[in-house]
Structure 1
Amino acid sequence: MQSTPPGRPVEAAFPAQTPAAAQIFTTVLSHGPLTRSGVADRTGLSAAAVTKAVRPLIEAGYLVEDTDDARRALGRPANPVRVDAGRALFIGVKATGDELIGVLTDLCCRIRVARHLPLTDPAPGAVLAALAGLVRELLTEAEGFGVPVLGLGLAVSGDVDRAEGVVRYSPFLEWRDVALAELATMTTGLPVTVENDVRALTVAEQWFGAGVGLDDFAVVTVGAGIGCGLVVHGQVVAGAHGVAGEIGHVAIDPAGPLCHCGNRGCVEAIAADAAILARVRETTGAAVTDTAEAVALAHRGHPGVREVYAAAGTAIGRGIATVANLLGPQRVIISGEGLAAYDLFAEQIRDTFAAYAFGSAARCDVQTRPLPFEEWARGAAATAIQSFIRSETGSDTHRQRLNGAAPRAQHAH
């Protein structure tokens, strides 16, 4: 399988080979166009360091300089630089229990093509075969743009070790210890980054969404599971064991329902879609099969169903307050497919958060941001862009370990 359009040479490594150069590029990516002095102000680097780093990026075509005659006429000769979005393409794929969602993005992570592919078998071999077909289709689409596809990002729920490229445990796919980056690299021929789906979405929000310009924020996702991505001091954090931000497994009711993790009363055991459906069926006696039916029952005023959603909102509010109390983020962004029911539990989330957030933590800006699954796939593409800029992927690290070499430093994981 080709990773570049026919007739194009294999792409060289990204020219930003130092952490400072990568920082400069990502600053322009998120905030540009910026003058060199503007980049220096935002990064805290010297003007000389910025000038030195920008030059090879312009020569390689990743940055372009806006030469505006009107700007010079107004006495502002400093030309801003911006990322050339069309310089390269990336693929992102989000895997759910029953579907692959794939996107082809440009270097600024704008979606150019999106595809959905049903999954009938969640076994790793079957998923890899489906992934190969989806990537092949997106690579064919990429040929029309005339620039190379430089990376593939895969977003999977659960415990994911990005540095090793391994899915330790994914409850919805029922995977354990799957070396996904290595397998996907062999299957597709592309450099592969594997990341937890919520952290991937958080990378996209940090660089291109509601987290741009914030040093400390969280993304809380509501739906099939309850997830949380954390940005602390400008870095997306995974923790020493890759499970930082698991607010879905914060136990808020020791006598509550049993969670799939083995504990009782976790936020996820009360507020995830499956938990809500089980409680709605128990409350109504009706064979409610999906969340749309449950939401419709609640909107028709069924008191028992509305109470189920109120309890879910209370649990989510407790989880968000826990994040605010521990980390003091500037903003919490609530997203996920569960927002279809947001009007049913928004009041409980807000009131519970206010009741349990300690002191100034209650000043945290809590926002809702409905995002379709294509945006989760875009998050996967964002991790591929991030790995390319920093010259690191899980599959690269794995190969280095096999060869006995020390892996490159892993930044912002």
Structure 2
Amino acid sequence: MTPATISNLISELLDETLVMEKGNLEEDRRRAGRKSVALAFHPNACNTLAVHMNAREVQIGLANIHGTVQTLRRYEISLESGQSAFIERLISEIDACIAESEEVTIAAIGLGLVGLVHFESGTYLSKDHLGWKDVPLAALLRERLGLPVYIDNNIRTMTMGEKMFGAGRTLTDFLLIYIGPGIGSGLVIGDRLYRGGSTGAGEFGHMTYNPDGPICHCGNRGCLERYTSLTAIASELDALDEEELLNRVRQSDRQAHEAVSRAGRRIGTVLASYLNMFHVPKVMVAGPLAEEGSPLLEEIRRELYDRSYLARRERVEVAASELGENIGLIGAAALAQWNEVFEHRRLG
């Protein structure tokens, strides 16, 4: 494109308040003509409604194009209450948030959901142990709310958040592992989120750690999640709940420290096998226990480097996610922005 064409396009973007000028750029050498002007996305260029679901609650927030989120509401859920009740409550809460944000133009809605999701069709897949059936959730929400809707597994949306707004911005390949009540992962290859088959990929927590271990709800035995999730560690310590576990870790309780260290070693063992098969230069770890200097990260690194020849030869960086406790909402916003604005995909 010619400089004039570029200038015309930028003028249109400025007129539509999609971008804004940030002042003149400092240049290494003087040249004739107008000084170069720095541009940035306008904070109000694209607002999305982000919905993040974990095992116990749903969070809903408003996010701008920079990934800055404002939490609007959160509510506890009981999946055992039934699929229809869950969906109606979800629609009601989202609708209320849209009404509260009437002065803001919302471009799309992104949902990160626990469990299996068929991204292309927007289908939330069945949960046999709860008696749930497949439901075309994205299409249902689009019809009821009148906005573009994108849904995916919540850990894959977190991974997309890392790619757009976190340390993954400068990486073409990386792995994200999230450690919460369960364990999941997301993989970026060649700057693209890898989904695998129709139900996606990334069930890191359901890789086998001990073939003779306890039965998991997925039907397998000895899944990593049964040994290293927050739920598993709390149970090992006879803690009342995960909050007690986290409090004991913050208070440097010796038994809690040892339990978290064991979890790190177990994760590092499985991660070494993963990276021997598929090498990435960086692994980001997210969740309440994933802080730099924590025994969890230290033991993951130690076990990985002890067990993986490839990780020693071509160093793999293991680091805490930069997105903090809002990673779920940031990820859901990234899902909506990437598909509605940057790729402009209409699915379902």
User: What's the TM-score, normalizing by structure 2?
Assistant: 0.85
- 2:65 corresponds to: 107
- Say whether 1:326 aligns with 2:277: yes
Q: Which position in structure 2 is the counterpart of 1:33? A: none
Q: CA deviation at 1:372?
A: 5.1
Question: What is the match of residue 345 of structure 1?
Answer: 296
* Equivalent residue in structure 2 for 1:366, among 310, 318, 337: 318
User: How far, CA to CA, are the matches of 1:274 and 1:207 in structure 2?
Assistant: 30
CA 1:207–1:256 in 2, change beyond 3 Å: closer, same or farther? same
Find the counterpart in structure 1 of residue 97 from structure 2: 138
Distance change >3 Å, CA 70–CA 274, structure 1 → 2? closer
- 2:333 alignment partner in structure 1: 381
Tell me if 1:356 matches 2:298.
no
1:81 to partner: Cα distance = 2.6
The offset of 1:331, in angstroms, is 1.2
For residue 244 of structure 1, what is the aligned residue in structure 2?
201
CA deviation after TM superposition for structure 1 residue 227, in Å: 0.9
What is the rounded CA distance, in whole Å, between the counterparts of 2:212 and 2:87 in structure 1?
40
Decide which moves more: 240-249 or 383-392: 240-249
114-123 vs 205-214, which deviates more? 114-123
CA distance in structure 2 between the aligned counterparts of 1:188 and 1:169, rounded to whole angstroms: 23
Cross-structure match for 1:300: 253
For 1:171 and 1:133, the matched residues in 2 are separated by 25
How far off is 1:392 after superposition?
1.7
Give the secondary-structure state (helix, strand or coil) at the position aligned to 2:51. Answer: strand
Q: Which residue of 2 aligns with 1:152?
A: 109
| Structure 2 counterpart of 1:311, one-letter code | R
Q: Is the 8 A contact 2:67 2:333 kept in 1?
A: yes
Residue pair 1:97, 1:172 contacting (<8 A) in 2 also: no
Aligned partner of 2:82 in structure 1 is 123
Tell me the CA shift for residue 334 of structure 1. 0.3
Aligned equivalents of 2:257, 2:37: Cα separation in 1: 57
Deviations 1:24-78 (CA, angstroms, capped at 9, x unpaired): xxxxxxxxxxxxxxxxxxxxxx778993875654454323344539879954723
Partner AA of 2:24 in structure 1: D
What are the superposed Cα offsets for residues 232-270 of structure 1, whole Å, 9 maximum, x if unpaired? Answer: 111111112333222212112212232222222221121
SS of the equivalent of 1:87 reads coil
Instruction: Give deviations 1:146-180, integer Å, cap 9, x for gaps.
Output: x4111011110222111110122469987442221
AA in 2 matched with 1:96: N
- SS for the counterpart of 2:40 is strand
Cα drift, residue 380 of structure 1: 0.5
Deviation by residue 1:317-362 (Cα, 9 ceiling, x = unmatched) = 1233234323322211100134389834343222211112223466
Give the % identical residues: 26
**CA distance in 1: counterparts of 2:324 and 2:64, whole angstroms:** 19
Instruction: State the distance in 1 between where 2:267 and 2:215 align.
Output: 17
Counterpart in the other structure of 1:201: 158
User: What is the CA–CA distance in structure 1 between the aligned matches of 2:235 and 2:78, rounded to whole Å?
Assistant: 24
Pairing 1:68–2:24 present: yes
The structural deviation recorded for 1:371 is 5.0
Q: What code does the residue aligned with 1:291 have?
A: E
Q: 5+ residue gaps in structure 1? A: 1-45, 282-287, 399-413
Alignment partner, residue 52 of structure 2: 94
Task: Give the secondary structure class of the aligned counterpart of 1:114.
Answer: strand
Q: Which amino acid aligns with 1:314?
A: R
Identify which of 223, 231, 234 aligns with 2:191. 234
Distance 1:192 1:247 in 2: 27
Q: Secondary structure at the match of 2:305?
A: helix
**3-state secondary structure, aligned to 2:272:** helix
**Partner residue in 2 for 1:274:** 231
- Let me know the Cα RMSD of the aligned residues: 3.2
Matched pairs, number: 340
The answer to whether the 8 Å contact 1:151/1:384 transfers is yes
The 10-residue stretch of structure 1 (75-84 or 341-350) with the greater mean CA deviation from structure 2: 341-350
Distance in 2, Cα, partners of 1:92 & 1:175? 24
Deviation at 1:364, TM superposition (A): 1.1
CA distance in 2, matches of 1:186, 1:331: 40
2:37 corresponds in structure 1 to: 79
Task: Specify whether residues 185 and 254 from structure 1 end up closer, same or farther in structure 2 by C-alpha distance, changes over 3 A only.
Answer: same
TM-score normalised by L of structure 1: 0.72
1:85 aligned counterpart, secondary structure:
coil
For residue 80 of structure 1, give the secondary structure of its aligned residue in structure 2.
strand
Match of 1:42 in 2: none
